[in-house]
């Protein structure tokens, strides 16, 4: 039956919007319950709701109906909104349609394999052998990475690093089964391999185009990395290059000196004021934050949206509901800074997605055809503030309200700025590893080869074994985050370019309410209705390029110190736009939870500031009081 006029076209749009919204909410609620290990969660229900969600996105009848509505509409009969919605629906369905029943069966098989791998990884007895007591101590991968960074004892760092390296052999066999099936699926669909399939769906260009960009960046930064490794060996001795020493050599002292200026229990309040002073609003959305680590919880911070923001045809706006998690252990050194960085990052994603204002939920989903690079640009732009003298001089205060002193920042700069290239190379290693993995002939897909391939890529891209072993990175394992780490690289490129643009336009980013407005208009509002590269060009006025990033990496340390010092002094003189206790409004409902437990709620507890206070008390009693007792114990014993 032909779709005759505006009424039935709108009916089709309404029907698809409603069906999409329902499938998305059900899948995301199961995703959250499973990853947070909530009571009654079920990996089977997660797999079933994921299959249902993908079945909706992958139903050829939907694509046919949308195409027919576009093709058969009389000229001028579609409104601009209707046409745009039909186009984004067509683009979305094209990412997921598997008309071949063989491919559909394969997809279901892969979903089940992934659910089983996620479950065994969650239940893995991960930890390290304490070098003093020879006792096995349980620790999540985040806790292990933190130990590798901050433990003063080399043997402990080595043990924690070996704990991280134990993930590869544990997940290897199950992961390889998934790799084989993913490649089978991609080739069935006409792609070179799974990486090519994923990048084409997510970014709209293929593997060869992507790696042309990455190869250029790799080539330009290889000599910078070599020089940085030589510099580190000169300054701290050759042993500092060992994978269990390098993070500590780079950040151990710095982090400890900075730690008092990032009190964990104040992180939520500091994040909220930072965003409010940038003019960021959350459009009435609700955010649930589960910030602390615990056994059984998924080992990577993330932010997802069971309810995505969109505007109904009657003009009412549907605000987003976001679920947001980090893995803090508040009594551990570095946890407050990590929590704040995660809040800036995941809260940045949430701000972006809360501000997408389009006539269909299809524009604001986080999966393909939403570009990973586009999404990460927003969160990484905001988490970059934590390094700025302009931000530190305003918001990094200790529990007595004293601002972080300049020498602490300067020491940090001296310890990190010449080595920033390592972070870039660490990011680059993931896409190069996944590319090589999906290009291996099936006969070579053994656990031994998987482990040696990871080591080879680490040595080639990072100059030696990585302090974060490639197989401990959770992204390659799960479908939605596999073959997408390049998005972080492209995003960082865009972040450097956007920062340079704002600095030349306004002179400052921190406490500048024009930034939030520019981000909403230039990057956030269109959602995935606009192409990432077009948005960057539109906002910054030039095509995305590595120039600003390479310039930062090549900047002499003395110049970087001078610039940051000037920003810091200006920050001290000005003070924060919003001090602790000042009234502000993010237009957001915040719930703070710990698994099934509701700790604080901005609507019930009388505002966000009051909820932050309540959360602070919970942290104090659960973690910090206990730690004070432990610290005091040897003296009283």
Which residues contact Zn ion by CB under 5 A? 379
The span from the CA of 130 to the CA of 146, in Å, is 15
First to last CA, the chain: 84
| Sequence-ordered alpha helix ranges (H) in 307-371 | 335-354
Nearer to Zn ion, 350 or 611 (CB): 350
DSSP character at residue 204: S
Q: What Cα–Cα distance (Å) separates residue 548 from each residue in 187, 431, 545?
A: 38, 22, 8
The span from the CA of 57 to the CA of 62, in Å, is 8
Other CB atoms within 10 A of residue 618 CB: 18
Q: What Cα–Cα distance (Å) separates residue 164 from each residue in 115, 132, 135, 159, 400?
A: 21, 19, 17, 9, 37
Sheet of 302-307: strands edge to edge?
A: 302-307, 321-328, 285-292, 588-594, 597-601
Who contacts 294 (Cβ-Cβ below 8 Å, separation ≥6)? 37, 594, 595
Nearer to Zn ion, 286 or 379 (CB): 379
Nearer to Zn ion, 270 or 495 (CB): 495
Nearer to Zn ion, 350 or 413 (CB): 350
- Closest alpha carbon to 560 in 382, 358, 419: 419
The span from the CA of 81 to the CA of 359, in Å, is 7
Nearer to Zn ion, 262 or 302 (CB): 302
HSE-up of 588 (CA within 13 Å, CB side)? Answer: 30
Nearer to Zn ion, 93 or 374 (CB): 374
Nearer to Zn ion, 141 or 379 (CB): 379
153-183 in b/e burial notation, b at 16+ Cβ within 10 A? eeebbbbbbebbbbbbeebbebbbbbbebbb
Q: How far is the CB of 542 from Zn ion (least distance, A)?
A: 24
Q: Which two tokens stand for residue 3?
A: 């779709």
Nearer to Zn ion, 166 or 379 (CB): 379
Q: How far is the CB of 349 from Zn ion (least distance, A)?
A: 6
Nearer to Zn ion, 248 or 324 (CB): 324
Q: How far is the CB of 373 from Zn ion (least distance, A)?
A: 11
The span from the CA of 191 to the CA of 292, in Å, is 41
CA 40 to chain CA mean position, Å: 27
Other CB atoms within 10 A of residue 534 CB: 13
What is the pairing mode between strands 127-129 and 317-318?
unpaired
Hey, is 334 helix, strand or coil? Answer: coil
The span from the CA of 631 to the CA of 208, in Å, is 55
CA 24 to chain CA mean position, Å: 20
Q: How far is the CB of 606 from Zn ion (least distance, A)?
A: 31
Nearer to Zn ion, 111 or 481 (CB): 481
Nearer to Zn ion, 224 or 340 (CB): 340
Nearer to Zn ion, 383 or 455 (CB): 383
DSSP character at residue 403: B
Question: Can you point out the beta strands (E) in 557-625?
Answer: 588-594, 597-601
Hey, is 133 helix, strand or coil? Answer: coil
Burial category of 40 from C-beta neighbours within 10 Å (exposed 0-12, middle 13-18, buried 19 and up):
exposed
Nearer to Zn ion, 381 or 502 (CB): 381
The span from the CA of 383 to the CA of 626, in Å, is 30
Cα dihedral angle (609, 615, 616, 617), rounded to 10 degrees?
A: 120
Nearer to Zn ion, 269 or 366 (CB): 366
Nearer to Zn ion, 393 or 431 (CB): 431
Who contacts 10 (Cβ-Cβ below 8 Å, separation ≥6)? 82, 313
Q: How far is the CB of 491 from Zn ion (least distance, A)?
A: 8
What is the pairing mode between strands 136-138 and 588-594?
unpaired
Q: How far is the CB of 214 from Zn ion (least distance, A)?
A: 19
- Closest alpha carbon to 301 in 268, 271, 325: 325
Give the nearest residue (CB) to Zn ion. 379
Q: How far is the CB of 481 from Zn ion (least distance, A)?
A: 10
């Amino acid at each position: 039956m032909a779709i005759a006029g505006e009424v039935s076209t709108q009916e089709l749009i309404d029907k698809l919007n409603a069906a999409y919204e329902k499938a998305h909410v059900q899948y995301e609620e199961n995703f959250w319950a499973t990853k947070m290990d909530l009571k009654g969660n079920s990996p089977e229900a997660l797999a079933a709701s994921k299959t249902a969600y993908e079945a909706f996105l992958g139903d050829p009848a939907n694509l046919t109906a949308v195409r027919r509505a576009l093709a058969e509409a009389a000229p001028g009969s579609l409104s601009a909104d209707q046409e745009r919605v039909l186009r984004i629906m067509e683009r979305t369905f094209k990412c997921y349609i598997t008309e071949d029943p063989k491919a559909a069966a394969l997809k279901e098989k892969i979903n089940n394999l992934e659910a089983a791998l996620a479950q065994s990884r969650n239940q893995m007895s991960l930890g390290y052998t304490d070098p003093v007591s020879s006792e096995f101590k349980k620790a999540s991968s985040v806790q292990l990475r933190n130990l590798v960074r901050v433990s003063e004892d080399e043997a402990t760092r080595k043990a924690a690093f070996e704990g991280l390296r134990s993930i590869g052999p544990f997940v290897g066999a199950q992961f390889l089964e998934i790799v084989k099936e993913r490649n089978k699926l991609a080739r069935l669909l006409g792609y070179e391999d799974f990486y090519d399939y994923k990048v084409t769906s997510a970014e709209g260009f293929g593997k060869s185009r992507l790696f042309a960009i990455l190869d250029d960046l790799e080539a330009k930064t290889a000599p910078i990395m070599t020089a940085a490794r030589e510099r580190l060996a000169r300054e701290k001795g050759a042993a500092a290059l060992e994978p269990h020493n390098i993070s500590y050599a780079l950040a151990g002292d710095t982090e400890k000196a900075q730690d008092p200026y990032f009190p964990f229990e104040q992180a939520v309040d500091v994040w909220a004021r930072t965003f409010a002073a940038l003019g960021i609003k959350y459009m009435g959305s609700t955010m649930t934050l589960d910030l602390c680590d615990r056994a059984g919880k998924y080992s990577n911070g993330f932010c997802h949206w069971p309810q995505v923001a969109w505007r109904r045809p009657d003009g009412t706006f549907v605000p987003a509901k976001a679920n947001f998690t980090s893995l803090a252990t508040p009594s551990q050194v570095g946890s407050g800074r990590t929590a704040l960085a995660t809040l800036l990052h995941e809260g940045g994603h949430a701000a972006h997605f809360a501000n997408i204002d389009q006539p269909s939920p299809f524009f604001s989903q986080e999966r393909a055809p939403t570009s990973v690079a586009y999404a990460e640009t927003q969160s990484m732009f905001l988490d970059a503030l934590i390094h700025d003298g302009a931000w530190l001089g305003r918001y990094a205060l200790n529990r007595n309200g004293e601002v972080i002193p300049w020498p602490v920042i300067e020491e940090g700069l001296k310890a990190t700025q010449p080595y920033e290239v390592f972070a870039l190379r660490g990011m680059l290693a993931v896409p190069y590893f996944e590319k090589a993995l999906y290009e291996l002939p099936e006969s070579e897909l053994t656990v031994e080869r998987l482990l040696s391939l990871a080591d080879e890529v680490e040595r080639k891209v990072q100059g030696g074994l990585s302090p974060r072993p490639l197989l401990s990175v959770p992204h390659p394992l799960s479908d939605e985050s596999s073959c997408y780490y390049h998005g972080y690289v492209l995003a960082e490129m865009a972040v450097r370019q956007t920062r340079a643009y704002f600095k030349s336009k306004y002179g400052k980013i921190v406490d500048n309410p024009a930034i939030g407005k520019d981000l909403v208009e230039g990057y956030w509002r269109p959602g995935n209705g606009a192409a990432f590269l077009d948005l960057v060009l539109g906002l910054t006025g030039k095509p995305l390029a590595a120039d600003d990033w390479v310039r930062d990496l090549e900047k002499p340390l003395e110049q970087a110190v001078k610039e940051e010092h000037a920003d810091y002094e200006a920050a001290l003189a000005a003070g924060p736009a919003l001090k602790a206790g000042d009234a502000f409004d993010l237009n957001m409902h915040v719930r703070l939870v710990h698994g099934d437990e509701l700790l604080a709620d901005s609507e019930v507890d009388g505002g966000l500031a009051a909820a932050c206070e309540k959360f602070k008390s919970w942290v104090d009693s659960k973690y910090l009081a206990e730690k004070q007792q432990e610290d005091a114990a040897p003296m009283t014993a």
